[in-house]
Structure 1
Amino acid sequence: MLRLSKKAEYALMALKDLALRPEAEAASARQIAERYAIPVEVLAKVLQRLARQHLLVSQHGTHGGYLLARPASRISVGDAIEAIDGPVTITVCSSADDDCDQYATCNIRDPLWRIKDQIVQALTSYSLQAFATDELPLVPISVSRRTSEQRLPVVRVPIDGR
């Protein structure tokens, strides 16, 4: 099943925390880690990676810590996840690094790639600001499944006039 890594979850927790702070108020890795019961060493590495990916900036000094590198409205949830976990992949062949023996004959590759593209689109359409304020837009997902209450009626067709 598709699942974020724990480090990606920590990244989103930290980014949400920073997005909810006043604009110029930095927070240290220790402050954020203690607030959410995250191991400080792990969170420090996550925040450093987010800074290397230009999602955060670090300030040094007595009031140092991390700040968002740009407004929360211009950082997507997808940006944060990709910074930590890399590109979203749901099949071996959706990653440029991997090779698949069935690539030429695969009958599920294209539909799964389209699903992956929809997942990426959903993640990149949610800004950190919307994520932080719990104002995520609803993403329509069309599902055509019948429940047991929606069974088709049974129609009896006479065979040979009977």
Structure 2
Amino acid sequence: MRVSTKSDYALRALIEMATRQDGRPVSAEELGRLQEIPRGFLQAILADLRRAGVVLAQRGQAGGWRLARPADTVSVADVIRAVDGPLVSVYGLRPEAVSYNGSAEVLQHVWIAARRSLREVFEEVSIQQLADGALPEAITSRTDDDDAWQPH
């Protein structure tokens, strides 16, 4: 799986929002500065997140962006889907919509298994857990093995 720049930037911006103790909105300029995200790109990402109901925009002097719901109810999967679409797609289609002929039919099972594996990680991690730096044991246990850190 390739994590897009959009997903990475979206997650970083949301973590920044979730770490704010006062819950007040934060400007896109400040988010961009703190996380080194280009402003124009960030504005487009925030618009995607707003359409998905993840963030709210507040206008005015004290305006900016804030989470639309508690950070512990927003998963990494929610964010990726909001800015990039389905977790797994095969030439633009969801795995269950792909069809193959003959001996290649087994490929569909691989794509669906990959999606399930991604869900097992991305749906278990919330923005709040990321902001707190406290990942669930089911996630941290996956990084305990040295092989997890090795490129293949």
TM-score bracket, shorter-length normalisation:
0.7 to 0.9
Pairs within 5 Å for 1:1-162: 2-89=1-88, 91-92=90-91, 95=94, 99-102=98-101, 105-139=104-138
Based on CA coordinates, which of the two structures has the bigger radius of gyration?
A: 1
Cα shift at 1:131: 1.5
**Residue 137 of structure 2 aligns to a residue in which SS?**
coil
CA spacing shift, 1:7–1:137, aligned 2, 3 Å = same
Cα shift at 1:3: 1.3
Q: How many residues align?
A: 140
Over the matched positions of the two proteins, sequence identity in percent amounts to 29
1:43-98 residue CA offsets vs partner (Å, 9 max, x unmatched): 01101110111000111000100010011111111101110110111544961697
Cα shift at 1:5: 0.7
Cα shift at 1:127: 1.2
Task: Name the CA distance, whole Å, in 2 between partners of 1:51 and 1:90.
Answer: 23
Alpha carbon RMSD of aligned pairs, Å?
2.4
Q: Which one has a larger percent helix, Structure 1 or Structure 2?
A: 2
CA spacing shift, 1:103–1:115, aligned 2, 3 Å = farther
CA spacing shift, 1:83–1:93, aligned 2, 3 Å = closer
Task: Name the CA distance, whole Å, in 2 between partners of 1:65 and 1:109.
Answer: 43
Unaligned runs of 5+ in 2: 143-152
Task: Name the CA distance, whole Å, in 2 between partners of 1:101 and 1:136.
Answer: 38
Cα shift at 1:100: 4.5
What residue number does 2:146 align with? none
Unaligned runs of 5+ in 1: 142-162
What residue number does 1:146 align with? none
Task: Name the CA distance, whole Å, in 1 between partners of 2:102 and 2:27.
Answer: 46
Task: Name the CA distance, whole Å, in 2 between partners of 1:61 and 1:103.
Answer: 60
Cα shift at 1:134: 1.6
